[in-house]
Structure 1
């Protein structure tokens, strides 16, 4: 019996679509989990913003730069997050003329929940694909991604 012929190569456009589909499936599942745990209003863009604010806080200008959006767009995101109770504005202890956006305990909670949720989702991939395949996939993506792959400006990149 002859060996089966290898499958024909996939068209090049499939690779980014498959990568995006994997990303999207993980993010959608995470947000279902977050909604079930008290965070129904969190959107993917908010996650990027909360990460960009970080534990030390950020001004609206800094947030805009980190996200790759205008100061005005960053300000609108801050208003939404503030209204949902994830951030607060406070005087900057180093510069009284400036306001800092800081995470509230609710904002920290959603980031902790996100990290735990992504760990659970990765474990599901390991159960489905095997630890070696998932580790190899991660290693391959690290090898192909530029050194600054973990940028937070996805919202600005998609919109711009």
Structure 2
């Protein structure tokens, strides 16, 4: 079979979508029907030190206004809270709540279950080989937090 570069890119994206769509569906069944992929990116960025809308915007490669809207949604859903900054009383720091971490853990469990299904479908060694080969092609780094902004950016079209 002779596939093109676009075919490969779309297959990789389809694999990502299949895993994420299943996670979103199962999270909804677990009572988190409001969880979205961008929320995962945002909560992980906050857990890794993005403490304000400006910092979250830079981390996700989105505008400060988009980051502020995302923060508001996450706060309304109880996934993120803001608390006074002990270093600067004028500032508030974002923190992921226990509920937010619970949603992240549940999502990870769903993705791990999907990985096990794929290992059963094509074989553990085949899947490990695929993962190793992808890591050698794109690097061993997990997906970057700025992916939501990268996917939505205006390229001047």
TM-score by length of 2: 0.91
Correspondence 1:31 to 2:24 = yes
Where 1:95 maps in the other structure, the secondary structure is coil
Aligned 8 A contact 1:92 1:98 in 2: yes
Aligned 8 A contact 1:53 1:101 in 2: yes
Counterpart in 1 of 2:105? Answer: 112
Give the aligned CA root-mean-square deviation in angstroms: 1.5
Correspondence 1:125 to 2:118 = yes
Counterpart in 1 of 2:96? Answer: 103
Larger Rg: 1
Where 1:101 maps in the other structure, the secondary structure is strand
Counterpart in 2 of 1:48? Answer: 41
Measure the CA separation in 2 of the matches of 1:76 and 1:115: 25
Q: Report the more deviating stretch, 118-127 or 95-104.
A: 95-104
Counterpart in 2 of 1:155? Answer: 148
- 1:155 deviation in Å? 0.9
- 1:11 deviation in Å? 2.1
Aligned 8 A contact 1:125 1:134 in 2: yes
Measure the CA separation in 1 of the matches of 2:143 and 2:107: 16
Are residues 149 and 87 of structure 1, via their aligned partners in 2, closer, same or farther at CA, if it must alter by over 3 Å? closer
Aligned 8 A contact 1:67 1:153 in 2: yes
Aligned 8 A contact 1:57 1:103 in 2: no
- 1:10 deviation in Å? 1.2
Where 1:152 maps in the other structure, the secondary structure is coil
Question: Deviations along 1:29-77, whole A, 9 cap, x unmatched?
Answer: 0111111111100011111111111166622111111111121111110
Structure 1 unaligned residues grouped into runs of 5+: 1-6
Correspondence 1:145 to 2:142 = no
